[in-house]
Amino acid sequence: MSISVPPLKPRSVAVIGGGPAGLMAAEILARAGVRVELFDAMPSVGRKFLLAGKGGMNLTHSESLTSFLGRYGARRAQVEKLLNVFGPQDLRDWVHGLGIETFVGSSGRVFPKDMKAAPLLRAWLRRLREMGVQFHMRHRWLGWVNDSTMVQRFETPNGERQVEVDATVLALGGGSWSRLGSDGHWVSTLNSRGVNVASLRPANCGFDIVGSEHFWQRFAGQALKTIGLSWTDRHGLKRDQKGELLITATGVEGSLIYAMSGPLRDEIEASGRATIFLDLLPDRELQRVLEEVSRPRGSRSWGSHLQSQVGIKDVKAGLLREYLSAAEMIDLNRLATTLKALPIRLVATRPIDEAISTAGGVRFEALHQDEWPLMLRALPGVFCAGEMLDWEAPTGGYLLTACFASGVVAGHGVLSWLNK
């Protein structure tokens, strides 16, 4: 007598969030034969990824791994575990596997050969669809049904939908650029289920400064090029860097300030302000600047004199006038010193929605680290990846690399959980 045995139901995993971390987790799972359902609140996936690559898709950085890991600050140890599984070179090799060539720029940053994000994303989505990943757009995650973590709730254009799965990867992003899908709405949901979440804060952000309305009206949108920035925190640690700043309608932003935005934000939160110093002539020593501004001015105005002797004009000249009156410029020592160390008082970060990324999120202490890495201790079967984790890094490929790596680790963590 034969006995009919029904086929085993294939394991099903919901990946919620269609950024790099979610897509990478989906690839790891689909490659292992898991049925993957990917949900995103937006009409299409990868929107922030595409916008981040609009000016040149900076994938990662070619510096040594030791220097690379140093970019993650207080969370270096936790991020190192992720990058040991999928590091910068692994990311480049993976991109090459999609048929996209990369190159290393003069700054050490790594880019696709055509500098664009869209061809990479198209090739990736084609691969995922061929693997059987099912995409569900305009599905906004609402949490779970009652006490279960296996039945997901989604708000869709056709009303609420419930989906039962065997495990879940949450890759919902941080709280910046909400128009692209990352609005941090998940924080309250996880808090209500006992998950330890650090408050979301702006990272890689601009700052408000004190200045006259006339200055903002005239120079907003203009760049301060080839300058130095130095800052000493309240613990005596000094930071120096060269680069560019952009004058905004209320303050400053740009790569130079982004590189220090985390500690500057923390200083403002602790003491209410942070004073940075701008070197408007970083390639000249103070003594040389003093000698040049001390040359006879004749009948020329101070503006003409500074332009002819040291090249200070336009927005740099406008910024100098914000901090020195005409009478104060007569003091040549003070003039030269201010050109080399112009004090700028930062009084607030720009709103989190304007930030490139966010700090805070699900604390690593709330996650398993070994047997089922990145699974929530409070919610078995639920894994987290990407920017919704509590880490931050400067721009330069560090953000993307860690997001990709966390997706890989979360995907492998799910496989371990399903096979437990």
Contacts of 3 (CB under 8 A, 6+ apart): none
* Token duo for residue 159: 């009303």
How, if at all, do strands 251-253 and 207-209 pair?
antiparallel
Determine the pLDDT at residue 252.
Answer: 95
Determine the pLDDT at residue 9.
Answer: 59
Question: What is the SS3 assignment for 225?
Answer: strand
Do 143 and 154 touch, CB atoms closer than 8 A?
A: no
Question: What is the SS3 assignment for 141?
Answer: strand
C-alpha dihedral over 342, 348, 353, 354, to 10 degrees?
-10
Is residue 195 very low, low, confident or very high in pLDDT (cuts 50, 70, 90)? Answer: very high
How, if at all, do strands 274-279 and 342-349 pair?
antiparallel
Q: Please give the C-alpha separations between residue 228 and each of 81, 190, 193, 219, 225, in angstroms, as whole numbers.
A: 34, 42, 47, 19, 9
**Poorest-confidence range of 195-204, 323-332, 344-353, 373-382?**
323-332
Determine the pLDDT at residue 3.
Answer: 44
What span, in angstroms and rounded, lies between the C-alpha atoms of 107 and 105?
5
Q: CA 196 from chain center: how many Å?
A: 21
Determine the pLDDT at residue 88.
Answer: 97
What span, in angstroms and rounded, lies between the C-alpha atoms of 53 and 121?
11
Determine the pLDDT at residue 371.
Answer: 87
Determine the pLDDT at residue 265.
Answer: 95
Residue 98 pLDDT > 50: yes
Q: Half-sphere exposure (CA, 13 Å, Cβ side) for 266? A: 12
**Poorest-confidence range of 46-55, 155-164, 182-191, 277-286?**
46-55
Find the mean pLDDT for residues 104-133: 95
In terms of Cβ atoms closer than 10 Å to its own Cβ (0-12, 13-18, 19+), residue 136 is middle
| Helix, strand, coil content of the chain in percent (nearest 5) | 40, 25, 35
What span, in angstroms and rounded, lies between the C-alpha atoms of 111 and 92?
9
Length of the chain: 420
pTM attached to this predicted model: 0.91
Quickly count helices (H) and strands (E) in the chain: 16, 19
What span, in angstroms and rounded, lies between the C-alpha atoms of 89 and 165?
33
* Token duo for residue 155: 């708000």
Average per-residue pLDDT for the chain? 93
Q: Please give the C-alpha separations between residue 414 and each of 12, 56, 371, in angstroms, as whole numbers.
A: 11, 33, 10
Residue 6 pLDDT > 80: no
Do 104 and 113 touch, CB atoms closer than 8 A?
A: no
Determine the pLDDT at residue 4.
Answer: 43
Q: Please give the C-alpha separations between residue 267 and each of 67, 203, 274, 378, 387, in angstroms, as whole numbers.
A: 24, 13, 6, 33, 23
What span, in angstroms and rounded, lies between the C-alpha atoms of 213 and 248?
12
What span, in angstroms and rounded, lies between the C-alpha atoms of 74 and 72?
6
Domain 12-203+358-418 CATH assignment equals 3.40.50.300: no
Find the mean pLDDT for residues 147-160: 93
Residue 301 pLDDT > 90: no
Find the mean pLDDT for residues 197-201: 96
- Which tens digit of pLDDT belongs to each residue from 26-78? 999 999 999 999 999 999 999 999 988 777 899 999 999 999 999 999 999 99
Amino acid at 208: D
How, if at all, do strands 134-136 and 35-39 pair?
parallel
Determine the pLDDT at residue 8.
Answer: 45
In terms of Cβ atoms closer than 10 Å to its own Cβ (0-12, 13-18, 19+), residue 255 is middle
Residue 1 pLDDT > 80: no
- Which tens digit of pLDDT belongs to each residue from 258-278? 989 999 999 999 999 999 999
Would you kindly state where each structural domain of the chain is located, as residue ranges? 12-203+358-418, 207-349
In terms of Cβ atoms closer than 10 Å to its own Cβ (0-12, 13-18, 19+), residue 128 is buried
